[in-house]
Amino acid sequence: MGAGRRALRPRLAQLIWMDLPAAEARARGEARDGPELAAFWRAWSRAEAAHFAADPSRPRADLLVHGASWKFRAPVDQPPPHIQ
C-alpha cells in the first residue's frame, strides 16, 4: 500500500488500482502465507484502512483493475504453471 500516496503522485506516470473486496484480499493473503502470519494480516488491515482514509489513492487511479474475477490464463500451447 502507498505506492500511489500523495507525496509520490506527481512523479508517477500512471496509477493502477486493483479493486478487490477486503475480505477476499485478506483470505488470499492468509491462504498464501499460512496461519503463521495471521497477526501480520490483522495489523496490515488496520494500517491499510488508516492509510487510505487519510490519503485515498483509488479516486486518483488512471486504471482500475477488478481483481475478484481475474484468473491466470496460460497460452493455449502451454499447460498452466502448476502442471509444469
Dump pLDDT digits (tens) for 3-17: 788 888 888 888 888
Q: For all residues of the chain together, what is the average pLDDT?
A: 80
Is 84 domain-assigned? no
Please determine, for residue 71, whether its predicted confidence score (pLDDT) is greater than 60. no
pTM above 0.85, yes or no: no
Please determine, for residue 84, whether its predicted confidence score (pLDDT) is greater than 80. no
Is 53 domain-assigned? yes
C-alpha cell at position 54: 487519510
Taking the C-alpha atoms of residue 60 and residue 68, their distance in angstroms, rounded to an integer, is: 20
Please determine, for residue 22, whether its predicted confidence score (pLDDT) is greater than 90. no
Is 50 domain-assigned? yes
Is 4 domain-assigned? no
- How many domains, in total, are found in the chain? 1
Taking the C-alpha atoms of residue 48 and residue 27, their distance in angstroms, rounded to an integer, is: 15
Q: Look up the domain containing 39 and give its range.
A: 9-68
Is 40 domain-assigned? yes
